């Protein structure tokens, strides 16, 4: 059964390539269906129109809609990571051919933005102790890829 809300990603002509890449990065992922354009277009007949795929339980659709629109960091996906090993793995895979940004953000080679975020960071920045929260935020602002130990050190500093 489809989820009620499905993110729909617009690509020029890389929808299938992107879906294959994303399903190779995340466990429990698969391409569900590929729909092709017919003679009526607007894409070339038999070329990929949409790809429905699942990333670790999250359903998404990618479309080859042409060059009218492009992805921007205004929309991003957060990958919640429990360990530094997980952060490193997702960071390295998704960054390949893409661009690193600040504070755990990256843009992959297809233009999609990701936030590779340790779950402990969310706990630390919700702390009622303003000094702890401030130290963590300051530490995070100095990072590109997030480092759990450095965030913990900032949090625990007296």
**Rounded mean pLDDT of 20-41?**
96
The pLDDT of residue 156 is above 90: yes
What is the dihedral angle through the alpha carbons of 79, 100, 153, 131, rounded to the nearest 10 degrees? -90
Average predicted confidence (pLDDT) for the chain: 95
pLDDT tens by residue, 84-118: 999 999 999 999 999 999 999 999 999 999 999 99
Contact 117, 80 (CB under 8 A): yes
pLDDT tens by residue, 111-149: 999 999 999 999 999 999 999 999 999 999 999 999 999
pLDDT of residue 158: 56
pLDDT of residue 41: 86
The pLDDT of residue 12 is above 80: yes
For tokens 């080679």, the residue is: 109
pTM of the full structure: 0.93
Vertex 75 angle, CA 144 and 54, to 5°: 100
pLDDT band at 4; cut points 50, 70, 90: confident
**Rounded mean pLDDT of 21-28?**
97
pLDDT of residue 2: 64
pLDDT tens by residue, 42-59: 989 999 999 999 999 999
The pLDDT of residue 18 is above 90: yes
Q: Is the peptide bond before 42 cis (omega within 30 degrees of 0)?
A: yes
Q: What are the two backbone dihedrals, phi and then psi, of residue 157, each rounded to the nearest 5 degrees?
A: -60, 135
Three-state SS across the chain? CCCCCCCEEEECCCHHHHHHHHHHHCCCCEEEEEEECCCCCCCCCCCEEEEEEEECCEEEEEEECCCCCCCCCCCEEEEEECCHHHHHHHHHHHHCCCEECCCCEEECCCCCEEEEEEHHHHHHCCCCCHHHHHHHHHHHHCCCCCCHHHHHHHHHCC
69 burial (CB, 10 Å; 0-12 / 13-18 / 19+) is: exposed
């Amino acid at each position: 059964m489809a989820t009620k809300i499905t993110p729909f990603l617009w690509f020029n002509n890389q929808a299938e390539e992107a879906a294959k890449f994303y399903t190779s990065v995340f466990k429990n992922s698969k391409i569900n269906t590929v729909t092709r354009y017919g003679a009526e277009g607007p894409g070339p007949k038999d070329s990929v129109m949409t790809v429905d795929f699942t990333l670790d339980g999250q359903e998404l659709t990618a479309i080859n809609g042409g060059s009218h629109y492009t992805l921007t960091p205004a929309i991003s996906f957060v990958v919640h990571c429990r360990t530094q090993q997980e952060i490193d793995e997702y960071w390295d895979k998704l960054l390949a051919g893409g661009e690193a940004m600040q504070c755990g953000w990256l843009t992959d080679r297809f233009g999609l933005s990701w936030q590779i975020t340790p779950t402990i960071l969310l706990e630390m920045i919700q702390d009622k102790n303003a000094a702890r929260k401030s130290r963590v935020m300051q530490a995070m602002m100095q990072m590109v890829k997030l480092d759990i130990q450095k965030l913990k050190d900032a949090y625990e500093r007296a």
